[in-house]
Amino acid sequence: MTPRYIKRILFGLLIGSVTIISAQNNFGFAWKSQYTYALAPAAQAPSGITPVVSEPSAPGGAQKPDQAPPPLPEALSKRVAEYHIQVTLREDGKHLDGTQNVTWTNPGKKPVSELYFHLYPNAFQSPKTTFMTESGGKLRGDKATPAGQGHMELLSLQTESGASLLPRLQAIQPDDGNVHDFTLARLRLIEPVAPGESVTLKMGFEVKMPQVFARMGYYDDFVMAGQWFPKLAVYETAGTRGRVAEGWNVHQYHGNSEFYSDFGIYSVRISVPEAYTVAATGFQTKPAAAAENGYKSFQFYAEDVHDFAWAASPDFIYKEEAFSDKGVPGVRIKLYLDPAHADLSDRYMHAAKSALGSYAKWYGAYPYSTLSIVVPPAGAGGAGGMEYPTLVTAFSAEKTSPGYELERTVVHEIGHQYWYGMVASNEFEEAWLDEGFTSYAEDKVMEEAYGVSPNLRLEASYMTSPAPLKLASWEYSSHREYAENVYMRAKLVLLDIENKVGERMMAKVMRSYFQKYKFKHPTTGDFQRILENSTKAKWSDYFNQYIYGSQMADFSVELANTRSLSGQEKTMYESKVLIKRNGGVAGPIPIQFKFSDGTLISREWDGLDTHVQYTETSPYPLEWVMVDPQQANVLDNKLINNFMLAELPKETQIRWSLSAAKLVQGLLGLVGW
């Protein structure tokens, strides 16, 4: 998911300006994104991008059914769950009426007597739910409206033989004991499910959707159905994510958390008023069928996915193109555009192709036959910037002429097809494995396809509340702290690892991790093992500091002075410099000294101790000292302490006082607008 963030740009620029002017370095101008943490300078897309030959859209922009791809020789995942769902959108556009037959196969080695279901729409049932109390009724700047309440009601729950199980269903709150939260339920079965055996349940349910502000809901006649059906939790076998004993992984819906589900098969029939067009996970198996009651039905199918989402609107403008590349044997990219962005279809397509082509080349093949992109209307921003299997949402059509935030959002959400969709990390407990990896990959696509680079120095300066990356999402003190860490600091940690091992080795690590753990729900420890096996080195100390711990890599100049040495035939100066490590160990740290004759001397400190002192003797006094002059340390979040002017001998103090006055005058000129 893509976050929104209010940038404290002025303070960042002031810090940057001090360092720039003092050290005579240029950072460039920061480009500000409303939607992601990545900052980059505005750039023109480079010329010479190779066009991709595409199939024409359906005549008149009409949505056409997919041809089912040839069956795969074997399943890509364990396919623990199988859903057959029928859902109808009521004429009011606010309610869903659904039935589902869900089959669960026990993947473990022990009999299982309980099933757990996520009932996510109940997060909006009252202001007292866990999601609402933790989020304050807002997400990414979108706030719940008076129409923001919603719920899910299970109307029936039966065995295949018709025995009712509703009396056996119980809401539970394992994370916080909140008796007002009904987003998770436990079902005691009549008979245990033996290892390798299956159980099928028949369920009827009703959903009252909220006015969209947190991923799902309605806005006018637009509908985003995400997390909308009773969904089985994940039963983890021994060894999965480091488990010693098999069992259920169950959590409530929290203000920060996203989702974690098992892979399976979905066959879903969606009935909507006949004016509507539907976008959904998977592929459409046959043409939409009209009924006498003014409704029409869309049938979709998906396999080896762990969720199913759909969107509907009578206003969608539909565009479609075919795309193939190395690792993308053939995908139909489908755009469901709000009319306000109909003229931007080429930009959406280019972003989607750039992302799919790059991710497939770097990490591995995209195995699905479709990829849908939904553009919500203005006012439905809460539905935007979200990922689902084979379907992503762009941000809402608020701007008529968006900048690169349009491409960046599409690139980011398609990146989730890999780290959320196929690798399928547990976003309840280890969100950084999805959001951080996606943010890291997103930046690389934006640089390669559009020449847009992030301002890493400014991004690091936003890290005001470092916290461990491997925390449950609800254990962060606020949404801001959650987002700073699992998006931004996680990305910076991956970049720091890349700087240490080199781009080629990091590319090998990322590809190996994806290839080994796709469809397998890995954990942080699995990524660490891949890194250690690839680099033939131990990374425990590093992970303990920056991943399991909350360290940044701040180094500061604490002291810099120079004095004349007496009793010398020629005037000599002795300069003393004290450098301090304020955070984690970050490998060799370069230090640069500049003397009044323009001489530059470089030193390198291993950074293992808490501090180091240098003494330099020279015919000229020291002017300044700077830690990390090339700004290679991406985890340094306090650049203002990287530089210090030396305390000069009295004969040069007047000259330096004038220089300092000019520096202050220049800074005031920068902010005096």
179 CB neighbour count, 10 Å cutoff: 9
C-alpha to C-alpha distances, 651 to 325, 560, 564, 568, 569, nearest whole angstrom: 68, 17, 10, 17, 18
In a domain, 275, yes or no: yes
**Sheet of strand 572-581: strand arrangement:** 555-565, 572-581, 611-618
| pLDDT above 80: residue 84 | yes
In a domain, 481, yes or no: yes
- Per-residue pLDDT band at 22 (split at 50, 70, 90): very low
Final residue of a structural domain among 521, 547, 573:
547
Residues 494 and 574 in one domain: no
664 CB neighbour count, 10 Å cutoff: 10
Task: Give the relative orientation of helices 490-501 and 432-450 as an angle to the nearest 10 degrees.
Answer: 70
Q: What is the pLDDT of residue 141?
A: 78
Report which of 411, 453, 407, 458 is spatially closest to residue 7, judged by C-alpha positions.
458
The total of structural domains in the chain comes to 3
More confident residue, 205 or 37: 205
State the catalytic residue, choosing from 303, 320, 407, 413. 413
| pLDDT above 90: residue 19 | no
Residues 296 and 157 in one domain: yes
Our measurement of the distance from residue 251's CA atom to the centroid of its chain's CA atoms, rounded to an integer in Å, reads 20
Q: What is the pLDDT of residue 70?
A: 56
In a domain, 145, yes or no: yes
Q: What is the pLDDT of residue 619?
A: 93
Instruction: Confirm if 321 and 54 have CB atoms less than 8 A apart.
Output: yes
More confident residue, 48 or 94: 94
State the catalytic residue, choosing from 487, 542, 546, 573. 487
Average pLDDT over residues 475-487: 95
Report which of 3, 144, 52, 55 is spatially closest to residue 486, judged by C-alpha positions.
3
- Per-residue pLDDT band at 570 (split at 50, 70, 90): confident
Residues 209 and 275 in one domain: yes
- Per-residue pLDDT band at 544 (split at 50, 70, 90): very high
CA angle 614, 605, 609 (to 5 degrees): 90
Instruction: Confirm if 180 and 129 have CB atoms less than 8 A apart.
Output: yes
Residues 479 and 621 in one domain: no
Those residues with Cβ within 8 angstroms of residue 590's Cβ, 6 or more apart along the chain or in another chain: 602, 603, 604, 627, 628, 629, 630, 632
Those residues with Cβ within 8 angstroms of residue 658's Cβ, 6 or more apart along the chain or in another chain: none
| pLDDT above 80: residue 36 | no
Final residue of a structural domain among 312, 338, 370:
312
Q: Which of 23-37, 86-100, 631-645, 657-671 has the least mean pLDDT? A: 23-37
Integer-rounded Cα radius of gyration of the chain = 28
Residues 229 and 265 in one domain: yes
Kindly compute the dihedral angle of the four CA atoms of residues 139, 142, 144, 146, in this order, to the nearest 10 degrees. 180
Cα–Cα distance for residue pair 415/435, rounded to 1 Å: 9
Residues 463 and 600 in one domain: no
In a domain, 328, yes or no: no
CA atoms within 13 A on the CB side of 267: 8
- Per-residue pLDDT band at 68 (split at 50, 70, 90): low
Tell me if residue 482 is catalytic.
no
Q: What is the pLDDT of residue 655?
A: 44
- Per-residue pLDDT band at 15 (split at 50, 70, 90): very low
Q: Which of 2-6, 139-143, 182-186 has the least mean pLDDT? A: 2-6
- Per-residue pLDDT band at 16 (split at 50, 70, 90): very low
Those residues with Cβ within 8 angstroms of residue 506's Cβ, 6 or more apart along the chain or in another chain: 494, 497, 498
Instruction: Confirm if 549 and 468 have CB atoms less than 8 A apart.
Output: yes
Residues 280 and 219 in one domain: yes
Q: Phi first, then psi: what are they for 18, rounded to 5°? A: -60, -50
By the 10 Å C-beta count (0-12 exposed, 13-18 middle, 19+ buried), 565 is classed as exposed
Residues 538 and 622 in one domain: no
What distance separates the 2 farthest-apart alpha carbons in the chain? 107
Per-chain mean pLDDT for the chain: 88
609 CB neighbour count, 10 Å cutoff: 11
Q: What is the pLDDT of residue 64?
A: 65
Average pLDDT over residues 458-487: 95
C-alpha to C-alpha distances, 635 to 43, 414, 446, nearest whole angstrom: 25, 26, 21
634 dihedral zone (left: phi>0; alpha: psi -120 to 50; beta) = alpha
Spell out where 518-599 has E strands. 555-565, 572-581, 589-595
H or E segment to which residue 588 belongs: none
**The tokens of 93 are what?**
């556009």
Query: What are the pLDDT digits (tens) for 371-425?
Result: 999 999 999 999 999 999 999 999 999 999 999 999 999 999 999 999 999 999 9
For residue 435, say whether it is annotated as part of any ligand binding site: yes
- Residue 50 DSSP one-character state: P
Structural domain boundaries enclosing 253: 76-312
Q: What is the pLDDT of residue 571?
A: 86
**The tokens of 109 are what?**
């080695």
Cα–Cα distance for residue pair 526/546, rounded to 1 Å: 16
Q: Among residues of the chain, what percentage have pLDDT more than 90? A: 81
Instruction: Confirm if 381 and 364 have CB atoms less than 8 A apart.
Output: no
Task: Tell me the β-bridge partners of 300.
Answer: 268, 284
Cα–Cα distance for residue pair 57/272, rounded to 1 Å: 23
- Residue 420 DSSP one-character state: I
Final residue of a structural domain among 252, 277, 312:
312
In a domain, 346, yes or no: no
- Residue 400 DSSP one-character state: S
Q: What is the pLDDT of residue 72?
A: 54
Cα–Cα distance for residue pair 119/201, rounded to 1 Å: 16
364 CB neighbour count, 10 Å cutoff: 16
C-alpha to C-alpha distances, 22 to 31, 55, 461, 594, 634, nearest whole angstrom: 23, 56, 18, 11, 20
H or E segment to which residue 85 belongs: strand 81-89
Query: What are the pLDDT digits (tens) for 600-628?
Result: 999 999 999 999 999 999 999 999 999 99
Those residues with Cβ within 8 angstroms of residue 467's Cβ, 6 or more apart along the chain or in another chain: 476, 477, 481, 485, 550
Query: What are the pLDDT digits (tens) for 498-541?
Result: 999 999 999 999 999 999 999 999 999 999 999 999 999 999 99
Average pLDDT over residues 284-302: 94
More confident residue, 418 or 655: 418
In a domain, 525, yes or no: yes
Cα–Cα distance for residue pair 545/531, rounded to 1 Å: 16
In a domain, 263, yes or no: yes
Cα–Cα distance for residue pair 622/174, rounded to 1 Å: 62
Q: Is 376 in a helix, a strand, or coil?
A: coil
Residues 543 and 559 in one domain: no
Residues 134 and 83 in one domain: yes
Residues 195 and 289 in one domain: yes
The CATH number of residue 184's host domain is 2.60.40.1730
Q: Is 88 in a helix, a strand, or coil?
A: strand
Tell me if residue 604 is catalytic.
no
Query: What are the pLDDT digits (tens) for 342-385?
Result: 999 999 999 999 999 999 999 999 999 999 999 999 999 999 99
| pLDDT above 90: residue 27 | no
C-alpha to C-alpha distances, 85 to 94, 266, 621, nearest whole angstrom: 19, 8, 78
Residues 528 and 497 in one domain: yes
In a domain, 63, yes or no: no
The CATH number of residue 633's host domain is 2.60.40
